[in-house]
Structure 1
Amino acid sequence: MKSDNLGKIQHVWWIKPNTLIGIALLPLYILIGILTDNLDNFNYWTSFILIFSLYLGAQTASSRSKKNTRPVIFNKKRSENILSCLFYLALLGYFFWFFEIIKNPSILMNALSNDGKIFTLRGVIETTPGLSTLSQLSVLYSAIYVKFLTSESIKPKGKYLYFFLILLGMTLFRSWVWNERLAIIEFLCPAFVIYLSAKNLTKKSNNRLRLFPIIGALAIYLIFSVFEFFRSWQFYSKSESNFFSFTLKRLTNYYSSAVENGIGFTSWQNTPSYDGSLVLGFIYQLPYFGELLKSTTHKSQTFSSYLQCCADPEFNLASWPFLIASDIGVPLSMIFFFCMGFIFSIAYKNFITSKNSFMYYPVMYVALLELLRQHYLHSPRFSYILVGAIIVHLFIKAKSKNDQDYSPAMEVSK
């Protein structure tokens, strides 16, 4: 049975939350501290303690025994209904986002002939809050499509492959014109994790997968370099002589600057705000309601204020732990990250045991990869994915219970 293969992914260390944090993220954070000469900074070690709290939470949950659960799988018709719904909603989001380009293609042509400036359409066209964000459902489409595609008996029709390729093309276009490479990681990474869960991993292939982060890091660098060549090299080539050393420096700067921005912001702010604007950042970004919250909990020392006065606006991100500590203080942040680590591990267990909540951990996994660079889980882009995942989960659960022909011990195609 296909469900027997799912548990084998637990041997891949860089997918398990506790080993990913302990073996990769904590050492990488220390390396960044060495390279940026911040090992003697108090705020730097405060963030280290918070990441370690995340590790402890994940390790605590991982040591708990797993319950044996049977897979809950859709029949073919329902799986295709879900994919169709996600596809058209995501496409609608992209339509609202790039409507100005569709209406007036010269906007894109003018941006391409930028006379040596960095290419981007940010500030040229505007997003529509609540509508263009529907494009984030393409992440769920990618993950669920691969899940159904790799099942033994539920094979979506060929048109769903074309839907997948259309959304992939839109993601690549979005990453290019909006300078948003994270969108590619969001679209492909959860799907890849789900693909691995369906593979019958041999000992030899498992050993190869243990070294995959090295290949993945090289792939990220190459993709980053391609995008930078079209986006900014024309501008920076006047002052830089070697393209590959330039892109390597820029890529590492995204991580080192995020740590240094976090250190700088917590020192600049001095005391936590205790307003929840960063812990519950997605609520503050909601149309209308978010504006009301901002007006009632307004504070002068925001991260954007810090960027304007003290940092490089181009490198405008900060590591997740610093932002949470600046919002609710260190003691509460330690509890928060311990709980988050626990949640990550529970979601991982649900994923490898093939529950109907299989889609949560793959999309949350991106937050672990981005931990040192930004607070991904609290952003509006993730909240749309999470809401979509909850709706799909509840739909699967309800339909499975009501289906008289449903067999919990095996996948059934109808």
Structure 2
Amino acid sequence: MRTGLRTLAPAAGGAMPWWCAPAGIAAGFLLPLMFLIAWAGEIRHPALTIRGVQVLDLDWLLLGGLMIVALALGGWLGAQLQPAAGAPRRIGEGGDRAAIAIGLVATLGFALWFRDFLLDPALLWATLTGAYKPERDSIELTPGLTSLANTAPVFFSLYAFRRLDTDLPRRPLPRAMNLLALLLVLLTAFRVYVWSERLALIESLVPFGLAIGRWAAARRGGPWSLLRLAGPFVAIPLVIVYFGAAEYARSWASDTYQGKMDFWEFALGRFAAYYYTSLNNGASLLANSAWPTWTFEFTLEWLHRAPLGLGQPFSALVGYAGRSFELHLLAYQDPEFNSPSGIYAVISDLGLTGGALYMSLVGLLSGLAFRAYREGRLAGVAIYPIFFITFMEMYRYPYLGTARSFTWSCGIVLTLLLAHLMAPAPAPAAGRASSRPATGEAEA
């Protein structure tokens, strides 16, 4: 069946576990987990801190479920669409060179961001040993430059795929990629530690998780079968431990928790309360505000915050006068817990029909990227991890609308452009073969 430039066709290329696919993660993981979180939020337990007006009920859950189903259907359709061009070609030298270039860009962003530490070994050592704990406000940011650090996940996407690519014959990784990977891992870990930013580590780990999923799909045996069958559910305890460890210093010492429960109760309770509150905040926003607003407060937050005065004309055009969600939290919820959910916030911006179309479009694009990733195409390897992070952050906020997502997306575009420009010239050959690329690394 022809559909424009693409064709509905069976899957080609490498296999992937169900939880790597947009439809699988949405319908098989996000949907049941949303109802589980809602159920946990109703349990009266000392570890659960639910503040504000509880609005989340079955009706709002069904509405949220409808959005996730739209996401899953779009993802399924996108994964069935195949480029009308020939068989996919492996990432070549141009892709490796582009990965090195974007890795250097990310390293520059980190160097500018943490230059005070990197240029002062005594300060760096005091920070690493815990003798000095800097406040976030004391670390100077340079808009447009320090944000280049957010392109690091693009490098990790290409590096992880190349490191675990199961296609043969394998081409050795350039030494520069290995050195950059080590350097960026250390810089990201420092960012998580000194900036108290959990998400930065998750953004860096997701590319490795997807690459491991593709690698494990080609393996046989008990552990790999378990990973293919229940990957995200197996990972939940690890996520809870990570979340609890990050919350330990912030909340464990308070009278609310200290000495009253063990760590697992604390971590699980904080985890459930965190995501329940995000969903409840979004439902409360719809229940107590007029929508759709068409101000794109959540879905195009990055555009409102664009530097050099570029965001002001757009904000004026759509009538956006500031974050109205903060006022809503002050009136109905708790400003400390300020996540609007990535489901209900979209409906607030675009309405029910617009929200469903938005979810379907995100699903469709993610499905196309997923298929390209599975087949080892450069564009898919570079693009799909950002969609996977969007699914993981679905309960908290629309990730694609954030400024960090925009910087990541710019890194993807730059990487694809560099891969095309840095591709080696095709080897001369006779006849028609002379006009065909030798490596195909600029394949989109």
Conservation of the 8 A alpha-carbon contact between 1:72 and 1:354 = yes
2:182 is equivalent to residue 176 of structure 1: no
> How many residues align structurally?
401
Tell me the distance in 2 between the aligned counterparts of 1:85 and 1:397. Answer: 13
Which residue among 160, 165, 172 is the counterpart of 1:146?
A: 160
Is the alpha carbon distance of 1:46 and 1:169 closer, same or farther for their aligned partners in structure 2, counting shifts above 3 Å?
same
Q: Which runs of 5+ in 1 are unaligned?
A: none
TM-aligned CA deviation for residue 234 of structure 1 = 3.7
1:218 corresponds to which residue? 237
Q: Deviations over 1:69-110 (max 9, x none)?
A: 2214222xx455323322221122122322344567769759
Query: Separation in 2 of the partners of 1:111 and 1:317?
Result: 32
Alignment of 1:274 onto 2:294: yes
Distance change in 2, residues 1:300/1:139 (3 Å): closer
Letter in 2 for 1:247: A
Name stretches of at least 5 consecutive residues in structure 2 with no aligned partner: 1-10, 43-54, 429-433
Q: Distance in 2 between matches of 1:56 and 1:211?
A: 21
Match of 1:98 in 2: 114
CA distance in 2, matches of 1:379, 1:233: 30
Identity %: 22
CA shift at 1:139, angstroms?
0.8
Query: Structure 2 residue aligned with 1:86, among 87, 102, 105?
Result: 102
Mapping of 1:218-257 within 5 angstroms?
A: 218-235=237-254, 238=258, 240-257=260-277
The correspondence of residues 188-337 of structure 1 with structure 2, limited to 5 A, is 188-198=205-215, 201-204=218-221, 205-235=224-254, 238=258, 240-287=260-307, 288-295=309-316, 297-299=319-321, 302-337=324-359
2: CA distance, partners of 1:176 / 1:81:
30
Q: CA, structure 1 residues 58+267, in 2 after alignment: closer, same or farther (shift >3 Å)?
A: same
Tell me: CA distance 1:317–1:409, structure 2 relative to 1, closer, same or farther (3 Å).
same
Give the structure-2-normalised TM-score: 0.79
Q: Does 1:24 align with 2:20?
A: no
Report the CA distance shift for 1:360/1:229 in structure 2 as closer, same or farther (over 3 A): same
Give the drift of 1:375: 1.2
Q: Which residue of 1 aligns with 2:431?
A: none
Residue 126 to residue 265, structure 1, CA distance change in 2 (3 Å): farther
Q: Does 1:352 align with 2:374?
A: yes
| Contact map agreement 2:103 2:152 (CA 8 A) in 1 | yes
Distance 2:161 2:91 in 1: 10
Q: Which residue of 1 aligns with 2:403?
A: 380
Deviates more, 1:198-207 or 1:49-58: 198-207
Deviates more, 1:189-198 or 1:61-70: 61-70
| CA gap 1:100/1:366 in 2 versus in 1, 3 angstroms | same
SS at match of 1:70: coil
Which secondary structure state, in structure 1, belongs to the residue aligned with residue 218 of structure 2?
coil
Q: Which moved more, 1:90-99 or 1:183-192?
A: 90-99
Q: Offset of 1:9 from its aligned partner?
A: 2.7
Report the Cα offset of residue 249 of structure 1: 1.2
- 1:69 corresponds to: 87
1-structure distance, mates of 2:310, 2:95: 34
Contact 1:262 1:322 (8 Å CA) reproduced = yes
What is the CA distance between 1:408 and its match in structure 2? 6.4
| In 2, Cα distance between equivalents of 1:327 and 1:111 | 45
Aligned-partner Cα distance in 2 for 1:132–1:308: 32
Q: What is the CA–CA distance in structure 1 between the aligned matches of 2:152 and 2:426, rounded to whole Å?
A: 28
- Looking at structure 2, the residues matched to 81 and 354 of structure 1 have their Cα atoms a distance apart, in angstroms, of 17
Query: 1:250 offset after TM fit, Å?
Result: 1.2
1:9 paired with 2:15, answer yes
Aligned to 2:179: 162
Say if 1:176 and 1:231, in contact at 8 Å, map to a contact too: no
> 3-state SS of the aligned residue for 1:320?
coil
Q: Work out the CA distance in 2 between the residues paired with 1:97 and 1:238.
A: 35
1:48 and 2:54 correspond: no
Equivalent position amino acid for 2:185 in 1: L
Q: For 2:331 and 2:281, how far apart are their aligned partners in 1?
A: 12
Once structures 1 and 2 are overlaid, which stretch shifts more, 206-215 or 376-385? 206-215
- Compute the RMSD of aligned alpha carbons: 3.2
Q: TM-score, normalised by structure 1?
A: 0.85
Q: CA separation in 2, counterparts of 1:258 and 1:36?
A: 11
C-alpha distance 6-362 of structure 1, shift in aligned 2 (>3 A): farther
Cα distance in 2 for partners of 1:6, 1:247 equals 41
Measured at CA, do residues 189 and 383 of structure 1 come closer, stay the same or move farther in structure 2, by a change above 3 Å?
same
Cα separation, partners in 2 of 1:356 and 1:102, compared to 1, 3 Å: closer
Aligned residue identity for 1:74? G
